């Protein structure tokens, strides 16, 4: 069942973060792509983040402007690590090693 996209402060629902750390990562990634976002705190999550420095109890909803919704979905789409190319760092540094540190 798909979650209904409710408007909030001129934005539409993008996703829900489980912790304040996860919400900060989403916010940072979206802002790096020039996509504004707003975090909507549930329950006491905003208080917990202020008082304790982090929130791991209540979820945080992320909202973006409707015109950027598709781009925002693409930005936060997870990439499976199995699909990533493996890099052999030792070979890369052996070629550049001149003995100076």
| Residue 97 pLDDT exceeds 60 | no
Q: Give the length of the chain.
A: 101
pLDDT (tens digit per residue) in 11-25? 899 999 988 888 989
Question: Domain map of the chain by residue range?
Answer: 7-96
Cα diameter, the chain: 60
Query: Cα–Cα distance between 34 and 8 in angstroms, integer?
Result: 19
The whole-angstrom separation of Cα 46 and Cα 58 is 9
pTM of the model: 0.64
Q: How far apart are CA 101 and CA 84, in angstroms?
A: 30
Domain 7-96 sits in CATH 2.40.50: no
Q: How far apart are CA 65 and CA 7, in angstroms?
A: 9
């Amino acid at each position: 069942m798909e979650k209904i996209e409710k408007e909030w402060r001129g934005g539409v629902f993008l996703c829900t973060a489980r912790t304040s750390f996860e919400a900060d990562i989403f916010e940072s990634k979206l802002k790096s792509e020039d996509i504004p976002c707003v975090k909507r705190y549930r329950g006491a999550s905003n208080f917990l983040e202020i008082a304790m420095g982090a929130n791991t109890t209540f979820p945080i909803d992320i909202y973006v402007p409707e015109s950027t919704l598709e781009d925002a979905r693409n930005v936060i789409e997870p990439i499976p690590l199995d699909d990533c190319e493996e890099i052999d760092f030792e070979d890369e540094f052996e070629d550049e090693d001149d003995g100076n540190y």
